[in-house]
Amino acid sequence: EVQLVESGGGLVKPGGSLRLSCAASGFTFSGYGMNWVRQAPGKGLEWVSFINSGGNYIFYADSVKGRFTISRDNAKNSLHLQMNSLRVEDTAVYYCARLSGDSWGPGTLVTVSS
């Protein structure tokens, strides 16, 4: 069974940092491009970042470019999102998802507040 599980969310002050992780199982992780998608409270879905299967093609939404860094460790079946210079507007549930959209994790909540 395909499974994605995010971790690392929590409460952080504006300007702070967090590192999210996504543990993958039940499929050949190294064969799939992966996305991070977020959803602010009561709002719609917003794509955040993409990394291809090999980790050499990476893209970011303009809203996080220069502050967030996506990475992956195919040997450990894990995806990461390093989030720096966090802003109040980054408050959201963060999901990892396979590029095809057919598998999503349950999400991890990031709250940026003073």
Partner 1 sequence: DIQMTQSPSSLSASVGDRVTITCQASQDISKYLNWYQQKPGKAPKLLIYDASNLETGVPSRFSGSGSGTDFTFTISSLQPEDIATYYCQQYDNLPPWTFGQGTTVEIK
- Is 102 near partner 1 (CB under 8 A)? yes
Binding letters toward partner 1, positions 22-51, x by CB under 8 A: -------------x-x------xxxx--x-
What is the residue type of 59? Answer: F
Round to the nearest angstrom and report the end-to-end CA distance of the chain: 40
- Is 108 near partner 1 (CB under 8 A)? no
CB-based contact 94:107 (threshold 8 Å) = yes
| Contacting range for partner 1; rule: CB under 8 A; set: 7-15, 16-24, 66-74, 91-99 | 91-99
